[in-house]
């Protein structure tokens, strides 16, 4: 349930002065200031004029590690956290906010393969996005429908099925800021933050991605230095059209962050003339039919995705075992 909002207006002028001086002249906010500012944005206490200015200023400047840390502190505090299901594996969290335009979106295949291995899988994201094929659309074609709350999520976890929770239900305040893209015409910091949130009260494995090299550098710095280690582990990779599923045609590098240590799990694969069997067209119906054929054994699992699944299974089991060991002490 969403926490009550404090509607007292928040003076944002001093923050805009810091971040609004252009890419070269702007200064980064401290973690505490960033947390205060984003909390007020989530609470709806920043005026529309100031909110637009903040979003555009951050879009031009780019988020620093201290800012992303403070924003995430505020975002996490706004969540009504889910309870991780019992079992031998910690949950795997898959954000899905991009979908696909050209390639088939195989995020649902990744989720279903993990669930088949006994791993609780939470996918969160958007239901639809004009011009893109979303994970939610493909999952619905496969009979996996969105859930609206904790009870529905728990029931689906109990059936060993992946759970898709729209951002409107998982983090309604963030969803409001995310939706401002349709007004401003550009993405804002919330598009980065939703891919980083940890929706469980217990440790989990988060899959996250980047699309530009500067975000790789910033996120590597964040996860290696100040990210809360109690939240669990993270796999960071270049997105496949923005999605956190391995590219079936050419594996991307995957970095594993555990307790601020970084290990390269998968090396970037060179292009190959041999292309795997993939859906004939990237629409939801064709992609869902192809995924069914893979799950039934009629088509092979692309090797890059099989490798990603294996690493997720291994690390999620390790996270859960560490939790049990800590409780036993």
| pLDDT of amino acid 271 | 65
Domains 13-77 and 92-328 alike in fold: no
244 SS3 class: coil
Give the right CATH number for 92-328 from 3.40.50.720, 3.40.1030.10, 3.40.109.10, 3.50.80.10: 3.40.1030.10
Looking at CATH, the fold of the domain delimited by 13-77 is given as: 1.20.970
Task: State the average pLDDT for the chain.
Answer: 94
Rounded Cα–Cα distance for residues 104 and 247 (Å): 10
Rounded Cα–Cα distance for residues 66 and 225 (Å): 10
The band of 325, judged by pLDDT with boundaries at 50, 70 and 90, is: confident
The ranges assigned to domains in the chain are 13-77, 92-328
Rounded Cα–Cα distance for residues 28 and 34 (Å): 9
Rounded Cα–Cα distance for residues 71 and 112 (Å): 31
Structure tokens at 135: 């994970």
Instruction: Please say if the pLDDT value at position 278 is more than 80.
Output: yes
| pLDDT of amino acid 274 | 67
Give the model confidence (pLDDT) of 38-47 as tens digits: 999 999 999 9
Cβ atoms of residues 135 and 243 within 8 Å? yes
| pLDDT of amino acid 111 | 98
| pLDDT of amino acid 270 | 74
| pLDDT of amino acid 4 | 44
DSSP 60-85: HH---HHHHHHHHHHHHHT--PBPPP
Instruction: Please say if the pLDDT value at position 211 is more than 50.
Output: yes
Arithmetic mean of pLDDT, 89-109: 96
Structure tokens at 144: 């996996």
H helix runs in 213-302, sequence order: 213-225, 284-295
Instruction: Please say if the pLDDT value at position 288 is more than 80.
Output: yes
Instruction: Collect all residues with Cβ–Cβ distance below 8 Å to 158 and sequence separation of at least 6.
Output: 85
| pLDDT of amino acid 107 | 98
Whole-prediction pTM value?
A: 0.94
């Amino acid at each position: 349930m969403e926490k009550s909002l404090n509607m007292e207006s928040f003076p944002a002028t001093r923050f805009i002065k810091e971040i609004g001086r252009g890419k070269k002249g702007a200064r980064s906010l401290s973690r505490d200031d960033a947390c205060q500012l984003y909390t007020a944005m989530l609470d709806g206490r920043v005026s529309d004029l100031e909110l637009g200015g903040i979003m555009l200023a951050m879009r031009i400047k780019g988020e620093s590690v201290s800012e992303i840390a403070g924003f995430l502190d505020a975002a996490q505090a706004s969540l009504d956290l889910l309870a991780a299901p019992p079992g031998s594996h910690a949950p795997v969290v898959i954000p899905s906010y991009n979908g696909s335009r050209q390639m088939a979106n195989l995020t649902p295949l990744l989720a279903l393969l993990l669930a088949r291995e006994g791993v609780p899988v939470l996918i969160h994201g958007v239901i639809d996005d004009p011009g893109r094929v979303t994970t939610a659309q493909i999952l619905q074609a496969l009979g996996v429908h969105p859930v609206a709350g904790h009870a529905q999520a728990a029931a689906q976890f109990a059936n060993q099925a992946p759970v898709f929770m729209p951002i409107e239900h998982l983090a309604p305040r963030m969803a409001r800021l995310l939706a401002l893209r349709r007004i401003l015409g550009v993405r804002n910091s919330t598009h980065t933050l939703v891919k980083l949130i940890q929706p469980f009260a217990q440790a989990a494995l988060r899959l996250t991605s980047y699309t530009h090299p500067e975000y790789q550098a910033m996120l590597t710095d964040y996860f290696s230095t100040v990210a809360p280690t109690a939240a669990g582990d993270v796999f960071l990779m270049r997105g496949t059209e923005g999605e956190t599923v391995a590219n079936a045609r050419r594996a991307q590098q995957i970095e594993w962050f555990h307790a601020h240590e970084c290990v390269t799990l998968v090396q970037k694969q060179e292009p190959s003339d041999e292309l795997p069997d993939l859906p004939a067209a990237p629409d939801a119906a064709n992609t869902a039919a192809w995924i069914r054929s893979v799950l039934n054994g009629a088509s092979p699992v692309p090797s890059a995705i099989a490798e990603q699944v294996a690493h997720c299974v291994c690390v999620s089991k390790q996270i859960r075992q560490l939790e049990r060991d800590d409780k036993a002490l």
